[in-house]
């Protein structure tokens, strides 16, 4: 059990590869020391070359000020280590509402929410699943899915088989995210500049692209 000020162990079961993996090994200790945990690192060709570092506090919160603090701490380190040889743009962000699920605790924290999961290899001819999260147990993510003629059943997907997993952006998820943000005393600033909405009135169309 971790207090709100402690950083959870590095228990991500979805790991980066190649250059992103090298960056993760360099960046993660810095995030730990600042009180954050790494969610994901992605390198894309958007805006030339973009290095996106997705992070959060142990309670799942992340403010614009947090992003700025991380950027200031990491930028000099990346410059000195020179791991990214080409010119690039550093982007630090929160996981977003339709967040990726990378830790066992994510499946517990967001139980009841809808998620999409893709496997590394098919199980009985199926690689993609979409359903309601039911938690995590014995090394497996529990998900209630529609199995056609068999109806809705809760299945367990071993974390070693999961290639990617993320929440599905729904009205219910948006309301839940806003409720959690307000309960944490962070307000709407976590969702992005200019987003001001009541949880009972906000719809998916209002936050597309955040």
- Sign, CA dihedral 22-107-44-192, equals negative
Q: Which two three-digit tokens encode residue 200?
A: 């009972």
What pLDDT digit, counting tens, does each position of 64-110 carry? 999 999 999 999 999 999 888 888 999 999 999 999 999 999 999 99
Q: What is the CATH number of domain 104-167?
A: 2.30.30.180
- Answer with the residue of higher pLDDT: 188 or 53: 53
Q: What distance in Å separates the CA atoms of residue 146 and residue 33, rounded to the nearest whole number?
A: 43
The full set of domain ranges for the chain reads 18-93, 104-167, 171-207
pLDDT score at 185: 66
pLDDT score at 202: 38
Q: Is the pLDDT of residue 57 over 90?
A: yes
Q: Is the pLDDT of residue 35 over 90?
A: yes
What pLDDT digit, counting tens, does each position of 162-199 carry? 999 999 999 999 999 888 877 766 544 444 433 333 33
Close Cβ partners of 63 (under 8 Å, ≥ 6 residues apart): 186, 189, 190
Q: How confident is the model at residue 10 (pLDDT cuts 50, 70, 90)?
A: low
What pLDDT digit, counting tens, does each position of 100-124 carry? 999 999 999 999 999 999 999 999 8
pLDDT score at 150: 85
Distances 75 to 25, 52, 66, 127, 186 between C-alpha atoms, Å? 15, 12, 14, 38, 26
**Which CATH number does the domain 18-93 belong to among 3.40.710.10, 3.40.50.10420, 3.40.50.1220, 3.30.300.70?**
3.30.300.70
Q: Are 95 and 62 in contact (CB under 8 A)?
A: yes
Q: Is the pLDDT of residue 135 over 70?
A: yes
Question: What pTM does this model have?
Answer: 0.79
């Amino acid at each position: 059990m971790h207090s709100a000020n402690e950083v959870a162990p590095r228990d991500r079961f979805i790991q980066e590869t190649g250059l992103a993996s090298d960056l993760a090994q360099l960046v993660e200790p810095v995030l730990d020391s600042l009180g954050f945990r790494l969610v994901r690192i992605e390198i894309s060709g958007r805006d030339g070359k973009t290095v996106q570092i997705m992070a959060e506090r142990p309670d799942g919160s992340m403010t614009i000020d947090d992003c700025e603090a991380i950027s200031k701490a990491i930028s000099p380190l990346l410059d000195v280590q020179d791991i990214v040889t080409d010119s690039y743009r550093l982007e630090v962000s929160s996981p977003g509402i339709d967040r990726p699920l990378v830790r066992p605790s994510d499946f517990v924290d967001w139980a009841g929410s809808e998620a999409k999961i893709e496997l590394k290899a098919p199980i009985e001819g199926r690689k993609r699943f979409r359903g309601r999260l039911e938690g995590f147990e014995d090394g497996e993510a529990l998900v209630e899915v529609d199995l056609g003629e068999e109806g809705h059943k809760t299945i367990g997907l071993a974390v070693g088989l999961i290639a990617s997993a993320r929440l599905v952006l729904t009205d219910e998820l948006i309301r839940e995210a806003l409720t959690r943000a307000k309960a944490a005393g962070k307000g709407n600033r976590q969702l992005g500049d200019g987003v001001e909405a009541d949880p009972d009135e906000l719809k998916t169309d209002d936050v597309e692209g955040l």
